[in-house]
Structures are given as C-alpha cells and as structure tokens.
Structure 1
Amino acid sequence: MRHLLAAVLLSMLSVLSVPAAAQPSRYLISASPMTGTPPGTQAWRVQYWTMNGSGQRLAVTGIVAAPMEAIPPRPRRVIAWTHGAWGVAEECAPSLSPSFFEYSAGMDAVRSGYVVVAPDYIGLGSPTMHPFLVGPDTANSVLDAVRAAREIPGAAAGSRFAVWGESQGGHAALWTATAAQAYAPDLTLVATAAAAPPTDLGANLREGSDKNARALLLSFALHSWSTLYGFSLDPIANRTNQGIIRRLSENNCVAFNKKPKLGTILGILTIARATKGKDIEKIEPFGSFERANSVDPARVPGPLLIAQSSRDTIVAPSVTRKFAKAVCRRGTALRWIDMTGDHGASARDSAQETIGWITARFDGSPPPSDCRRL
C-alpha cells in the first residue's frame, strides 16, 4: 500500500513540475534556433497562429531575437519590430532573407536587452496572399507574434511591449497600437514608434514624389486587394497592364542592395504611365478600402513617436505632418523627430533616439511632447 501511495504521489509531483516548455502552446507552432546571428544575439525562426480580419486561423512566420545571456529573474522587455515593404509574394518574407539582420533596424534593440519580435505578417513566408497595408490583419499578426514569443522559454519575453516600425511597418505599428487593447488584453502596450508611416493611404499613394516607387507600391496594393477581395482592376488598367501588375507583384521582392532587372524597370514605367492622373481613392471599391485601412489619429493611443524625413520621396512628409497634428489635437503626447535622409534609412537614422525614447517609457518617465512646435 505504501508503495502504491508513493507511486501516486510521485506521479502527481511529476505532473505539477512539468516545465512551461512542455505545456501545450496556444500560439507558437515551432521555434528553430538560428545560426550566424549578430554577436550577443540568439534568435529563432518561428511559426505561429494568428487570425485575419475575417476570423480565419492562419499559420504565419517571423523571427524572435533575444540577448545571448542567462535568463533574467524578471521577464525581458519586448519590442515588436514591424518591417517596411519587402514585397507581397510568399518568398519576400524578411525571415527568409540572409540580409534580415542587416536591413532590420529594430534588431539594434537586442543590444539594449530587449526581446525583439519580428513578424513577417500574413502571406509572407506562408501560402496565402499578403494583405498589403490591410490594418486589422497586420495588427493581429503582430500581436500574436508577441504572444508566441512568450512561449519560447529561452527568450523570457514579458507581456509589456512596445511596437516600432518603418514605412509599411509604420502603418503596421500604428494599427497594432489601435487594436492592442481589444485584440490582446493579455498584453500591455507601453509605447508606439513609427518611422515614415503611411497614414492616409489615398494621399500617400497619390502624393509621394517618386512616381516609379509609387507605381510599384500601387501594383503591390492592387494585386493584393484584387486577389484577396475580388476587386476588379478593369477601371484602373487594361488586360495587358493588369498582367504587368500581377507579374511585378508575383516576381519581385524589394531589392535593398542590387539594381532591379530590366523587365522590372520597364514594367514599373508602364504602370506609372498607365495610372498617371488616376486617383485610386475615387475609384470604388478601392477608395472605400483605402479609407478603411488608413490610420485614424483619434484611435491611436499614446505615447507616440513619429520620425519623418523632410526629403522622403515615397511617404509624403506633408501627409505625415498632417496626421501628427491631428494626433496632437487629441491631446496625445507625441515625440516628433525631423530627419533629412532618404526613405529607406528612416528607422536606421532615428534608431538610437527611438530606442532611448522607448526605454524611458518602460522606465515610467513622463513622455515628452513636441506638439507645440508642430
């Protein structure tokens, strides 16, 4: 009888002492350790569950990085890094790129002790169309990435997080801040930072001064939205140019360190000519969809940091400044960083100041506001 009782007690103790890693994961599907990471950094390629705006459950991918140190007694602070436009094709996922760390400014925060969670978003690295600049879908994938990171024992990620992104990722960061409380009440948003964020999609796709970049980004948006939601491209382009839009989107990822192919250049020039003078915002259902996925300044909680270059040729500085002024009218504490570099360097040029500002928010310092000088 004593032996039976001891066996029962031993069985009970073994169940009670099962480590967290052995418990069923709610969000994390897999976490594969990466090699060749920057000094002092450990990282995992992850697959995790999220939901799109229609409530469909999807498996998506990303990267989680943390300091190469012993697990601290308290959970680590978390930054969700939301990347800029890499493309809309499955193979354009940042986590698949050998240049991921080089071109992901948010990874700099690992050196300051943060866990950095870098989702690919839906459809990049996973077999479904990427919902390009679709706010709710993107926000869900970011918030669920933070949740998944918390299920990696070696990351030691806490529930308090900041979100920081550039370009398309600035739009993602602002939408994540808007959705965080309702979608992920188990997480606590501490701060939001956006470098060169598209806010008013109609104005951004219309007013960027680089017409070729505008044509490529418009192609990404049109291909994504027509594929996902069945929007007809007939009011925008003829059949030949619709084929060019599809090929530009399916065959091109944004090239950071090499020139685009001749066919890509010719395709972009063709679409730039074909869409010249066409205001997509006035063509339905695209106009309504642009407005629905623009960022409402009244819904973005503070504290907020925006970094914007006055020489940005892709995200019009005037559009960003107008958004910032609207945020200020709501009484939200806003830090504004003026820069003069090109669009692609927005996050890198403001990284040191942004990480310092985020750290001060985690530390509980009152947020500064630049609203008066705006």
Structure 2
Amino acid sequence: MRRLFAAVLTFLAIVATPASAQPPRYLISAQPMQDAPPGVQAWRVQYWTTNGNGQRLAVTGIVAAPMEAIPPRPRRVIAWTHGAWGVAEKCAPSLSPNFFDYSAGMDAVRSGYVVVAPDYIGLGSPTMHPFLVGADTANAVLDAVRATREIPGAAAGSSFAVWGESQGGHAALWTAISARSHAPDLTLVATAAAAPPTDLAANLAQGSDKNARALLLSFALHSWSTLYGFSLDPIANRTNQGIIRRLSENNCVSFNKKPKLGTILGILTVARATKNKDIAKIEPFASFERANSVDPARVPGPLLIAQSSKDTIVAAAVTRKFAKAVCKRGTPTRWIDLTGDHGASAKDSAQETIGWITARFDGNAPPNDCRRI
C-alpha cells in the first residue's frame, strides 16, 4: 500500500507540473522481475539515452533494490558496468538467465544499495553495440542512473558510485570522466574499476591469452567497422573478414559452457590472421583506439582499482602504468592486488570494494595507495 501511495503521489506531481517546467524523462518502462534473488526487487527497464553523435536511442538494463519499504531518505545508488558479454543484440546481460549469478555488482543490494545495471547501447536494442567506445557508453550509464530515479519503488537518490569489471572498468572510468558534463544533476561520489582496459592499443596487444585477445579484437573490429565504416582490408582478407563478422554476430561470452567447435576454429583463424598486425599503427583504428583510451588526467577521484597480477586478458603492467599516471595527478587511489583470473576480478574484490564505496558515501577520507603502486 505504501508503494502504491508513493506511485500515485509521483504521478500527481508530474501531472501538476507545467509542461515547460517538467524535467526531461528518461524511463520508458520498468517491468518487475519474478526471478529476482530472495530479498531483492528488480525491474527490467527500457530508457532513453544518446550516443556520441547526439542520436536518441532506447536502451535496456536491470535495476535492483532491497525488498523493503520505501525509506524516509533516498537510497544510495551504484551503477554496475558489466564486462564483455559480446556485441550482438542477443548478448545483453539483462536477457541472460545467469544475470544475477555473473553480475558481482548485485552483491551491493544486500548492503542497502539500489544497483542499476545498463546493457549499454546495442545490447538488447537493435543497433550495433559501440564496444569500448567511451562517450557512448558513459551516456548510457549516466542516463540509466537518471531513469532509475523515476522508479518509485527503487527510491533512488541523485548521489551514485560507479563500479565495473573488464569492459565495465573502462565504462566506469569513462562514466567518471563524463559525469559532470553529461549529468550535472547527479553527484558522483566514487569510481571503482576491476581489471579495466585503459590503453586500448596496449590492452588489445599485450594480453597473454592470444585466443581471448582474438575474440575481443573481433568484437572491436566488427563494432567499429559497422558503426563508423572503417575498412578491414588492411587487417584481414575477405574470407577472414567474414569470420570476424560471424564470430561477433553469433557468439556471446560463455560463462558456464564450452564454445562450439566452429567458434574455436574461428578464433584460431583470427589469431593467426592478425598475429603480425599492429592495429595501433593502422589508421583509422589507431586514432580511434587513442581517442577511446582512458586519459588518466581526466579521471576524478576518489578511485579504486582492483587488478590481478595473473590476469591473462588485461595485462597488469598496463593497468599499473595507468594507476601511476593517475597518482601523479594527485588523485587518491586505492589499489587492490588480486591473484585470481580475469573473470573473477570484481567478485574477488567485491567485499572490499563495497566497503570502500560505503565509506565514500559516509564522507570518510579516502585511503591512498599511490606510494606502493
């Protein structure tokens, strides 16, 4: 009853406000989920965002909140930015039955947070996913936080933290860069990134797992060539270009099953075809990688980075170099050393990360590990 009453008040407030004074609306729909974990209420959402060219797009995601009465004060918000699930529309995390099992950020709901998990542009929506494209992704994250505030049952406030893993670490850092300019109505209190790609040229070249590198490179090449018309001719012949396209269109990242034989053969073919290709020296890909890498001078603090020394996909040396550059700017940086594999980076650091984010919301001074990074 209390939730219904709050929803009615929200509706009346919108109706009573003159059209010229109404704030922009981001939420399109919020459908309650019946398969949320115990103690959690969740919604599949559709909302409006814009890409880097200003085009308005309808995109999707999931919002989760504690299964409790609406509190007297707005809830704290964490934007969870997911790692690579693929670039095809069907690869949206919100469409997966494994969403809650493989989204470490959802653990924060148990600590009282509203967690908003955007799919980004093109996952769950009919347009090409801008893979590792900074501004487009940041817009989708920030507008997801705005849309969440329009769900009465979520009771989300305007202050938020962003926390992401792998591709989502890149997304989190770009969200921090863009927050003030794109969403001045929101207040970013903390940024956490687990195994984040930062220097895209170095990340796509230095990961020691050549097969994972080939799949991720396929995702990037297919995304960028489709969206921006970049020719793949300097990188692969027509046969191998077809393999890159099929790998990207037909495959999502598998968490609990082995890839099909055709996928394995395709990855091996791309790995051989690109073995001696330095994308960082081939235009326009080289300039695009630089433009969408993370500039350490633009990342505001406080910042947390979690990185495994044994990561075979995001090389630890690249992440450490980025952290050192951030530290030279005087940005308070918490560094968490991990020893697990790449895909467990957020899970292995979740308890410490959530505690660190809570301390930032509480107004405590951030710890600084720059001397030991």
TM-score band w.r.t. shorter chain: over 0.9
Question: Partners in 1 of 2:85 and 2:199 — Cα distance?
Answer: 20
Aligned-pair CA distance for 1:162: 0.0
Equivalent in the alignment of 2:10: 20
Q: What are the equivalent positions in structure 2 for 1:329-340 lying under 5 Å apart?
A: 329-340=328-339
Does the 8 A contact of 1:31 with 1:46 survive in 2? yes
Equivalent in the alignment of 1:352: 351
Equivalent in the alignment of 1:76: 75
Equivalent in the alignment of 2:256: 257
Q: 1:18 to 1:341 in 2, by over 3 A?
A: closer
Does the 8 A contact of 1:122 with 1:137 survive in 2? yes
Secondary structure of the residue that 1:371 maps to in structure 2?
A: coil
* AA partner of residue 230 (structure 1): G
* AA partner of residue 19 (structure 1): L
Secondary structure of the residue that 1:372 maps to in structure 2?
A: coil
Q: Would you say 1:370 and 2:363 are equivalent positions?
A: no
Aligned-pair CA distance for 1:19: 2.1
Equivalent in the alignment of 2:191: 192
Equivalent in the alignment of 1:136: 135
Q: What are the equivalent positions in structure 2 for 1:22-171 lying under 5 Å apart?
A: 23=14, 26-171=25-170
Question: Partners in 1 of 2:66 and 2:80 — Cα distance?
Answer: 15
Does the 8 A contact of 1:280 with 1:286 survive in 2? yes
Question: Partners in 1 of 2:309 and 2:38 — Cα distance?
Answer: 34
Secondary structure of the residue that 1:237 maps to in structure 2?
A: coil
Does the 8 A contact of 1:212 with 1:272 survive in 2? yes
Q: 1:179-219: per-residue Cα shift (whole Å, max 9, x none)? A: 00000000000000000000000000000000000000000
* Structure 2 gaps, min length 5: 1-6, 16-23
Q: 1:259-303: per-residue Cα shift (whole Å, max 9, x none)? A: 000000000000000000211010000000000000000000000
Question: Partners in 2 of 1:369 and 1:156 — Cα distance?
Answer: 32
Equivalent in the alignment of 1:276: 275
* AA partner of residue 192 (structure 1): T
Post-superposition, which runs of at least 4 consecutive aligned residues in structure 1 deviate over 4 A? none
Secondary structure of the residue that 2:152 maps to in structure 1?
A: coil
Q: TM (normalized to structure 1)?
A: 0.95
Q: Would you say 1:289 and 2:267 are equivalent positions?
A: no
Equivalent in the alignment of 2:21: none
Q: 1:199-253: per-residue Cα shift (whole Å, max 9, x none)? A: 0000000000000000000000000000000000000000000000000000000
Give percent identity, aligned residues only: 87
* AA partner of residue 68 (structure 1): M
Secondary structure of the residue that 1:202 maps to in structure 2?
A: helix
Q: 1:297-355: per-residue Cα shift (whole Å, max 9, x none)? A: 00000000000000000000000000000000000000000000000000000000000
Does the 8 A contact of 1:200 with 1:291 survive in 2? yes
Aligned-pair CA distance for 1:18: 6.1
Question: Partners in 2 of 1:39 and 1:292 — Cα distance?
Answer: 43
Rg bigger for which structure?
Answer: 1
Question: Partners in 1 of 2:311 and 2:338 — Cα distance?
Answer: 9
Equivalent in the alignment of 2:318: 319
* AA partner of residue 160 (structure 1): S
Aligned-pair CA distance for 1:20: 1.4
Q: 1:1-53: per-residue Cα shift (whole Å, max 9, x none)? A: xxxxxxxxxxxxxxxx9621463770000000001211110000000000000
Equivalent in the alignment of 2:19: none
Question: Partners in 1 of 2:232 and 2:225 — Cα distance?
Answer: 7
Q: 1:125-176: per-residue Cα shift (whole Å, max 9, x none)? A: 0000000000000000000000000000000000000000000000000000
Does the 8 A contact of 1:21 with 1:151 survive in 2? no
Question: Partners in 1 of 2:11 and 2:241 — Cα distance?
Answer: 48
Question: Partners in 1 of 2:233 and 2:8 — Cα distance?
Answer: 59
Equivalent in the alignment of 1:6: none
CA RMSD of aligned residues (A): 1.0
Does the 8 A contact of 1:84 with 1:168 survive in 2? yes
* Structure 1 gaps, min length 5: 1-16
Secondary structure of the residue that 1:95 maps to in structure 2?
A: helix
Question: Partners in 2 of 1:72 and 1:196 — Cα distance?
Answer: 34
Question: Partners in 2 of 1:21 and 1:342 — Cα distance?
Answer: 47
Question: Partners in 2 of 1:373 and 1:197 — Cα distance?
Answer: 19
Question: Partners in 1 of 2:126 and 2:116 — Cα distance?
Answer: 21
* AA partner of residue 266 (structure 1): L
Question: Partners in 2 of 1:152 and 1:38 — Cα distance?
Answer: 19
Equivalent in the alignment of 2:172: 173
Question: Partners in 1 of 2:252 and 2:262 — Cα distance?
Answer: 14
* AA partner of residue 334 (structure 1): T
Does the 8 A contact of 1:21 with 1:152 survive in 2? no
Q: TM (normalized to structure 2)?
A: 0.95
Secondary structure of the residue that 1:326 maps to in structure 2?
A: helix
Secondary structure of the residue that 2:371 maps to in structure 1?
A: helix
Equivalent in the alignment of 1:10: none
Secondary structure of the residue that 1:338 maps to in structure 2?
A: strand
Q: 1:98-149: per-residue Cα shift (whole Å, max 9, x none)? A: 0000000000000000000000000000000000000000000000000000
Secondary structure of the residue that 1:110 maps to in structure 2?
A: helix
